[in-house]
Structure 1
Amino acid sequence: MNGARWLVQALVAEGVDTLFGYPGGAIMPFYDALHGSDLRHVLVRHEQGAAFAANGYARASGRVGVCVATSGPGASNLVTGIADAMLDSVPMVVITGQVPTALMGTDAFQELDVFGMTMPIVKHSFLPRKVEDLPRMVAEAFRIARSGRPGPVLIDLPKDVQFGDASQLPAHVPLDIDDVPAPIDASLHAALALISQAQRPLMYGGGGIALGDSVAAFRTFVDATQIPTVLTLKGLGALPSGHALNLGMLGMHGSRAANLAVQEADLLIVVGARFDDRATGKLAEFAPNARVVHMDLDACEIGKLRHADVGVRGDIRTTLTALTLPCAAHLHGRNGIARRAWRATCQQRAREHAARYDAPGESVYAPSLLKRLSELAPNAVVACDVGQHQMWVAQHWRMKEPRQHLTSGALGAMGFGLPAAIGAQMQDPSAQVVCVSGDGSFLMNVQELATLRRYGLPVKIVLLDNQALGMVRQWQELFFERRYSEIDLSDNPDFVAVAAAFGVQALHVDRADGVEAALQQLLAAPGPALLHVAIDQAANVWPLVPPNHNNAQMLDPEADARAALATPTAEDPRHAIPA
C-alpha cells in the first residue's frame, strides 16, 4: 500500500466514480494504482479537456468533479478549466503530479510551481510533503470544494509521496461539509418590510439558486407572491422558460421586457446573483429607482457592487421558505392594485417583445433552429461554447431546470462546450446531451471527438458555422467602424469530413427548409453525431446593450425594422445610442 494506492481508495470513499485525465511521468504512480481499481478513468486528448469535462460533470450533477494531470505542461493545461470553475463556483478537486520533493526548486524536468500559479483561482491548495499528510489533505480538499460557495481545490502531489509507504495510514473517512448558516431574523424582518412596501417589485435570480439547491423554494416564492422575474445567464432554468412571470434574461443580450422591468422597478429582490457587469450594463444607471434586498450565501457578494438596502446572508432555501407566506400575505393586500398593474405591464411587454422566428429568406436562422431543437429534446442537457451561439441558446432554448444549461459564464472560455458535454454524459449515461458550438470555439478542443468515439458517448453536436469569430465580428461592425481584424475563418475545414475522420457520424444543413429533417436525423442517430449548420456571417445577436449604456438603451435593428413597417411614420428614439 503506497500513497498512490491509498489515494485511489480515498477517492472511492469520497464517492468519486469518474476521473478525467491524461497521464505523464510525475503522476505515473497514481495511474499505476488506478489499474484494476473501481474508478472509471476517462482518457481525454488534452488536459484542458480533462478540466472542462470534470467541470461539466460537476455542473450537471452537483457533485465534485475530479481531473488529473502530470506536472509541468500537464498541470498548466488545466489552468483555464480551474479558473472557469472558480469564477462560476463549480466544485472540483484537481490532482496534479509534481516532481519528487528533493527536486522541488531545482528546475527539474517538467517542474512547475502549479501551487503558486493557481493560488488566485482555487479555494485552497494542498502540497503534501510526506505520505502521512494525505488523510488530512484529501479529506479537507473535498470538504472545502463542497462547502459554502463551491469551487475548485488543488492537490499537487509529489512523486515520492505517491510512492511512499502508506501501510500504516487509516482508511479514509470523508468529512462533513460545513453547516450552511441560517439567515438572522432581523434581516428577514427588514426584507419583509421592504417587500411589503414595494409597488413595482422584481425578482432577480442568479446561479446561486441552483448552487444552493433552492430551485423549488425559489419557484414557490415566485408563485406565491406573483412577482415578475428576470434571470441571469447562470440563473436560466430557475424558473421555466414558459412560466407566466418569467420575463427572460436581463443584461447585455437580455430581453427587452426584462431590461425595461429592471430599469423601472422600485425594488429588486436579488437571489443568488452578483450584479455582474454583463447583467447590469452601466452600473451607475442600473435600476435607478430600485431599493435592493440581496439574498446570498456569500457575504462578500452582498453590497460588493450595488448597495444593498437589506442584505440577507445565509442559506437561500431557508431564506425564501421563511419569507414566502408573509410576503405573499403582504403583497396581496396593501398596494395590491399597483402591483397587479405592474405585473400586467411586465407581462404585456413580454408578449409584445417576444422573439420572432419568421425570418425571411432561405438560409438557416439560428434562433429558430435552437428553439426547435429545445422543443424536440425538452429534457436535454445543453453544453455551450462561447460566442454568438451561446447567447442564442440563452435567449431561445426552452430551459426547464438550471442544471440543463452548462455554459462558461464569468470566464467566457471558448472550447468549453464539447468536453463539458462529455462530462455531463459520463455523469448520467442515460441523459440526452447536446453540445452547441461555433466554428471558432469548436476547433479549440476538437480533439475530444476522439474521446466521444472511444467511449461511445451519444452526445449530439450542433455546430453553427458562419466562417467568422462571430461575436468579435459583431462588435467590430457596431463599435469599430467595421474594421474587421482577424475574424475571418473562411478557410475552416470541412467539418463533416473532420467528424467522419474521428468516426463520428455527421450531416450538413444550409437551408431553412432542411432544418426539421436534419434535427430529427441528428437526434435519432445512435452514438455521437454532429450537425454542421451553415449560417449567414452577417447575422447578429439582438437585442444588445452597448458598452457604457444602461439596460434600457438597447439596440435591436430587427425589431426596429418590424416596428417601422407597422408604423412607417413613427420615430422611436429608444433604440438610438446616445452620445
Structure 2
Amino acid sequence: MKIKISDYIVDFLQKNGVNTLFTLTGGFSMHLNDSFGKHGNYNIYYQHHEQACAYSATGFTKTNSKPCVVCTTAGVAASNAISPCLVAYQDSLPILFISGQSKSIELTRTLEKENPRMKLRHYAGQDCDIISMVKPITKYAYEITNIHEIPSVLENAIKHMINGRPGPVWISIPIDIQGYFMEEEKIPVIEKDVINQVPNYEDLNQINELLLESKRPIIVAGNGIKMGLCNKKFQIFLEKYKIPVVVSFHGTDLIESDNVLYVGKVGLLGDRAGNFALQNSDLIISLGCRMSQGIVGYNMNTFAREAKIIYIDNDQNEIEKTNINYTFKTNMDLNIFFDNYNYDVNACKDWINKCNHWKNKWQFELPENINDEKGINPYFALKTFFRVAPKNKIIICASGSIITNVWHMVNVKEGDKFIISSQGDMGFELTASIGAQIAEPEKMIIPIFGEGSLQLNIQELQTIVHHKFPIKILLFNNNSYGANVITQSLYFKNKYGSDNESDLSFPNSEKIANAYGINYICARKNEDLEQVFEQFLKTKDAIICEVFSCVQQRVPKLSAVKNDDGTFTSRPFEDMEPFLSREEFEKEMIVKIV
C-alpha cells in the first residue's frame, strides 16, 4: 500500500510523541500543511511570522520539556526561523524544524552536481540552501533529495533531537518530494536512549572527600538540572545535604526564594548576596551550570579565589573548557549523580546562617533614589509586583535593561517557572508566552518586557486574541531602548538611535491594545502600583499593564577601575557598586580582600 510522503512524515512524528506544531503556511510547504491539517491528532497553532512560530516553540519546550515542530515554507520564510533555532541550540531545546523547498531538480545544489563548474546564486522559486546556514546551530540538518531517505532521516532527526544534550534538528523537504508516494512502512517508535552510564564511584568518592573537607560549600544550580528532568532529585539532594544554593539565569526557578538554602543570583548580572556567598565559599559544586563567562566574569585571578571547584556536566565539550582551573571535573549525567551520591555529610550550620545573613541584608536591593520625575523606578515597581503576584505562575523575560531588573527582583514562589533566552533577544517574550500558555494552560503566564521589544513580533497579539489566551503582559515603557541609552551614556559623548532625543520614537501602547481588542491598564506613579497590579492580575482575559518608567542602571552592578593607561580592571564579584563602606565590607568578608 502506498502513502503520500507528507502524510507519512506527519504520522511518523505523531507516533513518536511530537504532536504540537507552530506554523505559518506557504506554497512550498503546501503538502505538509495539508497533511498536518487533516491529521486530526495534531495540536496546530497558526501564526503571523515564522520567527514568532519558532519562538513560540521555544516557550512551549522550555515550559514542559516536550519536543515540538516548527514548519515553514521555503526561502526567507525558512531563514526567518534561524534566530529562534540559535536559541534552541544554545538553550538545548528539542525542536524539529521542517522547511519546504523548491523542486529537487531545480535546486542550485542539484545543478552544481551535474556541472561542478557552475556556481549559481539562485535558479528557481524560493530555493535557499537553508541546511548550510543552520548546520552550525543544529544537532542534525539534512535536505531530502530521494524518497527512499525519508524513514532514516526522520529516525536520525528524532534520535539526535532527544538524546544526549537535547537540541534542534532541521529537515528541508522539496515540494515535489512532499507530494510523492512511497511504499508504506511500519513506523518505528524512537525511544530515548537509556542512560547506561555506570556510576563512577571513584569520582563520587572524590567529590565526597572534597565536600567533607569543606566548611563553606555552595552549589551553583543551572539549566542542566532542568534539561536532565531531575528537578525533584535536586530538591531531595538539597533537603538531605543542606548545602546553600546560588542560581544562574536558567536556574532561577529551581529553588523558591524563601527557602533557607537559597542565597541569590551569581555572575556578571548577579546580585550582591549571591556573589558574596560564591566569592567567600571554599568549595563550589557546579550542577548543570556551564560556568560560562557570564558566571565567572573576566578576571579569573579574583573569581572564587579561595574555593575548590567541582564541575559535573554530561556534555564532554563543556568539560573540556579551560577557562577555569577546576579542582575536579567529571563527565557525568546528573541523574546518575543524584541517584548514586549517598554519603554522610554534616550540614555547615554556621555557613548556612552566614549565607542567610547576606540574603536578608541584600535580597531585593533597591536603588538609593526610587523617586524619579522621568517615571516609576522599575526596581521599585517590580518589588511591588512580585510581592502581590500569586504563586504557580510563569514569568518570561529576556531582553533590554528590564531583564536585569526582573532577575534581581523576582521572588520565586511555589510552582513558579522563570523562562529566559540565552540571546537576550527582543521579540522573544510575547511569542514565547504563547508557547508557555499552550504547554501549561492552568498557569498564569506573565511576559515582562519593554515597549521596544513589543515592536518585534507585535503581530502575535492577534494570535493571543484569536485563541483567547489570558496572557498578562507587563510592559515597561521608558520611551527608549533603555539598555542602549545606558551603554551609550556610559561610554560615549552622544546617543544614537536609542530614544526620542536621538531620533527614535515608539507608538502609543494603549491605542495598540485597543486596536487588537486587548484590555489595558497603566501606572504612572509609585502610589498607583499596588492597586493597578492587583487589578491586572485579577483580569481573566488578556491584558496589557503599562508601567511608565525611568531608565535605570543595574543596581547593584559589577564595576571596573580605570587604570593610568586608560584600560579598566574589573573589581571582584563581591565588591559591587554602590560600594559598601570599607568598614562594612571588611566586616562581611571571610576570604582575603584584594
Aligned length: 557
Is the 8 Å Cα contact of residues 226 and 245 (structure 1) preserved in structure 2?
yes
Match of 1:313 among 331, 334, 348: 331
Matched, 1:169 2:171: no
Counterpart in the other structure of 1:287: 304
Judged with a 3 Å threshold, the aligned counterparts in structure 2 of structure 1 residues 14 and 550 are, in CA distance, closer, same or farther, namely farther
Q: Which deviations, in whole Å up to 9, do the C-alpha atoms of 1:42-98 show, x marking residues without a partner?
A: 111111101100010000011012111111100100000000010111111111111
1:40 Cα deviation (Å)? 2.6
Q: Match of 2:447?
A: 435
Q: CA deviation at 1:340?
A: 3.4
The one-letter code sitting in structure 2 at the alignment partner of 1:330 is: V
Deviation of 1:546 after TM superposition, in Å, equals: 3.6
Which residue number in structure 2 is paired with residue 369 of structure 1?
381
Contact 1:52 1:416 survives alignment (8 Å) = yes
Q: Is the 8 A contact 2:255 2:262 kept in 1?
A: yes
Equivalent residue number for residue 109 of structure 1: 125
- The one-letter amino acid of 2:513's match is A
Task: Judge which range, 297-306 or 232-241, deviates more.
Answer: 297-306
Equivalent in the alignment of 1:512: 526
Per-residue deviation at 1:430? 2.4
Q: In the alignment, does 2:435 pair up with 1:426? A: no
| Unpaired stretches in structure 1, ≥5 consecutive residues | 333-338
Relative to structure 1, the CA distance from residue 200 to residue 177 in structure 2 (aligned partners, 3 Å threshold; closer, same or farther) is same
Q: Deviation digits for residues 8-43 of structure 1, max 9, x if unmatched?
A: 222221223321111122111111222322223211
- Paired with 2:319 and 2:50, the residues of 1 have a C-alpha distance of 35
C-alpha RMSD of the superposition: 2.6
The correspondence for 2:514, drawn from 487, 495, 500, is: 500
One-letter code aligned to 2:570: H
Opposite residue 390 of structure 1, the aligned amino acid is: I
Q: Pick closer, same or farther for the CA change 1:240–1:403 going to 2, 3 Å.
A: closer
Of the three residues 380, 398, 416, the one matched with 2:393 is: 380
Q: Partner amino acid for 1:404? A: K
Q: Which residue of 1 aligns with 2:411?
A: 398
Cα distance in 2 between the residues matched to 1:170 and 1:401: 47
Return the match for 2:545 from 531, 543, 548. 531
Matched, 1:296 2:300: no
Partner of 1:23: 25
1:172 to partner: Cα distance: 2.3
Distance in 2, matches of 1:510 and 1:18, equals 40
Distance in 2 (alpha carbons) for counterparts of 1:67 and 1:51: 6
What SS does the aligned partner of 1:348 have?
Answer: helix
Distance 2:363 2:522 in 1: 29
Distance 1:10 1:123 in 2: 20
Q: 1:288-315: per-residue Cα shift (whole Å, max 9, x none)?
A: 2221111111122124132332223222
Amino acid at match of 1:76: S
Partner Cα separation in structure 2 for residue 570 and residue 131 of structure 1: 69
Q: 1:401 Cα shift? A: 7.1
Whole-angstrom CA distance in 2 between matches of 1:440 and 1:356: 26
TM-score of the aligned structures, taking structure 1 as reference length: 0.90
Please state how far the C-alpha of 1:364 moved relative to its aligned partner: 2.8
Q: Return the offset for 1:5.
A: 1.3
Q: Match of 2:536?
A: 522
**What's the CA shift for 1:232?**
0.4
SS in 2 for 1:36: helix
Q: Alpha-carbon deviation of 1:216?
A: 1.8
Does residue 499 of structure 2 align to residue 488 of structure 1?
yes
Q: How far apart are 1:269 and its partner, in Å?
A: 0.5
Which string of whole-angstrom CA distances, capped at 9 and with x for unpartnered residues, describes residues 469-488 of structure 1?
A: 1122223333x055323211
SS of equivalent residue, structure 1 residue 110: coil
C-alpha distance in structure 2 between counterparts of 1:360 and 1:101, whole Å: 62
330 and 425 in structure 1: CA distance in 2 versus 1, 3 angstrom threshold? closer
Cα shift at 1:134: 1.8
SS at match of 2:252: coil
Alignment of 1:551-570 (within 5 A): 551-552=572-573, 554-557=575-578
C-alpha distance in structure 1 between counterparts of 2:19 and 2:292, whole Å: 34
Structure 2 portions without partners, runs of 5+: 112-121, 561-568
Per-residue Cα deviation, 1:407-427 (whole angstroms, up to 9, x for no partner): 112x22111101100011112
Contact kept in structure 1, 2:264 and 2:363, CA below 8 Å: no
Query: Secondary structure, in 3 states, of the residue corresponding to 1:536?
Result: coil
Q: Does 1:549 align with 2:570?
A: yes
Q: CA deviation at 1:572?
A: 11
**1:261, CA displacement in angstroms?**
1.9
> What SS does the aligned partner of 1:227 have?
coil
Asked if 1 retains the 8 angstrom alpha-carbon contact of 2:365 and 2:556, the reply is: no
Corresponding residue number in structure 1 for 2:143: 127
Moved more, 181-190 or 510-519: 181-190
Residue equivalent to 1:350: 359
Amino acid at match of 1:518: V
Q: Distance in 2 between matches of 1:160 and 1:122?
A: 25
Aligned to 1:464: 476
Q: Which residue of 1 aligns with 2:280?
A: 264
In structure 1, the residue matched to 2:216 is 200
Question: Whole-Å Cα distance in 1 between the matches of residues 73 and 137 of structure 2?
Answer: 19
**Alpha-carbon separation, structure 1, partners of 2:162 and 2:415:** 18
Aligned CA distance change for structure 1 residues 570 and 551 (closer, same or farther; 3 Å): closer
Secondary structure at the aligned position of 1:330 is classed as coil
Give per-residue Cα distances to partners, 1:325-378, cap 9 Å, x unaligned. Answer: 41xx2335xxxxxx4333322221112222246964375332343344334232
Q: 2:218·2:245 contact (CA, 8 Å) conserved in 1?
A: yes
1:137 pairs with 146, 153, 156, which one? 153
CA distance in 1, matches of 2:167, 2:299: 27
Please state whether the residue corresponding to 2:557 is helix, strand or coil: coil
Q: Is the 8 A contact 1:371 1:396 kept in 2?
A: yes
Using the alignment, how far apart are the partners of 1:330 and 1:526 within structure 2? 49
SS of residue paired to 2:181: coil
Describe the SS at the equivalent of 1:532: strand
Which deviates further from its counterpart, 381-390 or 117-126?
Answer: 381-390
Equivalent residues of 1:217, 1:320 under 8 A apart: yes
Residues 1:78 and 2:81 are matched in the alignment = yes
Q: Is the CA contact 2:218–2:283 (under 8 Å) kept in the aligned structure 1?
A: yes
Range moving further from structure 2, 435-444 or 222-231:
222-231
8 Å CA contact 1:260, 1:551 repeated in 2: no
* C-alpha contact 1:50 1:419 (8 A) present in aligned 2: yes
Distance in 2 (CA, whole Å) between partners of 1:127 and 1:553 is 50
Matched, 1:322 2:340: yes
Question: In the aligned structure 2, how far is the partner of 1:176 from the partner of 1:570?
Answer: 54
Secondary structure in 1 matching 2:219: strand
Does the C-alpha gap of structure 1 residues 276 and 402 become closer, same or farther in structure 2, counting only changes over 3 Å? farther
Q: 1:341 pairs with 350, 361, 366, which one?
A: 350
Deviations 1:480-513 (A, max 9, x none): 0553232115621100111211121212211111
CA distance in 2, matches of 1:531, 1:419: 17
Q: Distance in 2 between matches of 1:475 and 1:551?
A: 21
Q: Secondary structure at the match of 1:390?
A: helix
For 1:14 and 1:211, locate their aligned partners in 2 and report how far apart those are by CA, in whole Å. Answer: 19
DSSP 3-state at the match of 2:396 = strand
Q: Is the 8 A contact 1:210 1:403 kept in 2?
A: no
Structure 1 residues 182 and 87: alpha-carbon distance in aligned structure 2, compared to 1, 3 A threshold? farther
CA–CA distance in 2 between the matches of 1:467 and 1:388? 12
Letter of the structure 2 residue corresponding to residue 549 of structure 1: S
